């Protein structure tokens, strides 16, 4: 099921049906364009969360995320919900629903589901961020992943896929399992896609959710990763091998990766 405003002419647009197809349970996919709604038009409780953030772009992406979530929750519950969040920024979904949010500087994407107790994670990255991520491969990838990237016919694309998958996996985890994780806390395994930007599934071989799958696909000009985690089988509240400090701070996706692991091997 998909919902959201019609594409604004000239603005990036992600095919919602293609996003929904990456998830196992039936999900509602909604999106919003950054700038479509002004920050000042958000309801006061949603605005209040952002009092500490004065960077205009951050307010605009936050607002677009809230708008996408309002559309998604309206489709699920019948009423648009302006999501709150906990002190770590984890969105508070309406009772009985689960979801995930991601945004670029131009678009916000939200997925929600009523599948019982299901962790959902979505991440969207512009394809043109691949070069920057490749330059930061030491922050994104474990040594074994770096070897696989180096052997790949398209290394920048491989790093983009790994980064996107790890962001989606992180969001799908319960909060207690996120603690202490960094990009290199999880190692992924994957088969080299036969064609450039072909769909690919990456499998977690270490970390809090071994066996978890991240499905990645190029949709328009973006890489999108989707993770669905049933609550059963997840570790609860124990430290993870390779954990290295608190993540989840703000300031850009690459900055997050570097903050989480400042001295990679």
Ligand X SMILES: CC(C)(COP(=O)(O)OP(=O)(O)OC[C@H]1O[C@@H](n2cnc3c(N)ncnc32)[C@H](O)[C@@H]1OP(=O)(O)O)[C@@H](O)C(=O)NCCC(=O)NCCS
Q: Which residues bind ligand X (CB under 6 A)?
A: 61-62, 65, 85, 88-91, 101-103, 123, 166-167, 169-171, 178, 181-183, 185-186, 207, 247-248, 253, 256, 260
Smallest distance from ligand X to CB 66, Å: 7
**Chain length of the chain:** 265
User: Tokens 């049906």 correspond to what residue?
Assistant: 17
Residue 147 exposed, middle or buried by CB count within 10 Å (0-12, 13-18, 19+)? exposed
Q: Whose Cβ is closer to ligand X: residue 153's or residue 231's?
A: 231
Q: Whose Cβ is closer to ligand X: residue 20's or residue 109's?
A: 109
Smallest distance from ligand X to CB 137, Å: 14
Give the integer Cα–Cα distance in Å for 148 and 142: 10
Q: Whose Cβ is closer to ligand X: residue 109's or residue 196's?
A: 109
Smallest distance from ligand X to CB 3, Å: 18
Give the integer Cα–Cα distance in Å for 151 and 140: 16
Which residue in 72, 70, 89, 82 sits closest to 44, CA to CA? Answer: 82
* Tokens encoding 248: 């989840």
* Tokens encoding 132: 């920057």
Smallest distance from ligand X to CB 234, Å: 12
Is residue 199 a contact partner of residue 258, using CB atoms and an 8 Å limit? Answer: no
Q: Whose Cβ is closer to ligand X: residue 16's or residue 65's?
A: 65
Q: Whose Cβ is closer to ligand X: residue 71's or residue 166's?
A: 166
Which residue in 161, 173, 160, 181 sits closest to 22, CA to CA? Answer: 161
Give the integer Cα–Cα distance in Å for 144 and 200: 18
Smallest distance from ligand X to CB 232, Å: 18
Q: Whose Cβ is closer to ligand X: residue 94's or residue 248's?
A: 248
Smallest distance from ligand X to CB 21, Å: 20
User: Tokens 């689960």 correspond to what residue?
Assistant: 98
């Amino acid at each position: 099921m998909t919902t959201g405003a019609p594409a604004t002419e000239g603005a990036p647009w992600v095919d919602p049906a293609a996003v929904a197809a990456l998830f196992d349970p039936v999900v509602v996919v909604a999106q919003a364009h950054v700038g479509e709604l002004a920050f000042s038009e958000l309801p006061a409780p949603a605005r209040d969360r952002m009092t500490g953030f004065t960077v205009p772009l951050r307010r605009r992406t936050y607002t677009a995320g809230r708008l996408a979530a309002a559309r998604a929750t309206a489709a699920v519950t019948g009423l648009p919900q302006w999501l709150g969040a906990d002190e770590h920024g984890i969105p508070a979904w309406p009772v009985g629903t689960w979801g995930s949010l991601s945004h670029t500087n131009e678009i916000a994407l939200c997925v929600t589901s009523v599948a019982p107790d299901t962790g959902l994670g979505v991440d969207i990255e512009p394809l043109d961020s691949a070069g920057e991520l490749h330059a930061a491969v030491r922050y994104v990838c474990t040594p074994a992943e770096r070897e696989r990237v180096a052997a790949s016919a398209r290394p920048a694309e491989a790093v983009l896929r790994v980064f996107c998958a790890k962001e989606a996996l992180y969001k799908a985890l319960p909060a207690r399992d996120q603690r202490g994780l960094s990009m290199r806390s999880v190692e992924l395994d994957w088969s080299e896609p036969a064609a450039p930007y072909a769909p690919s599934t990456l499998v977690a071989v270490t970390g809090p959710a071994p066996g978890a799958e991240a499905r990645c696909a190029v949709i328009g000009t973006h890489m999108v990763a989707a993770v669905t985690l049933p609550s059963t089988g997840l570790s609860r509240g124990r430290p993870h091998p390779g954990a290295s400090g608190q993540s989840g701070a703000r300031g850009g996706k690459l900055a997050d990766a570097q903050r989480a692991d400042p001295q990679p091997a």
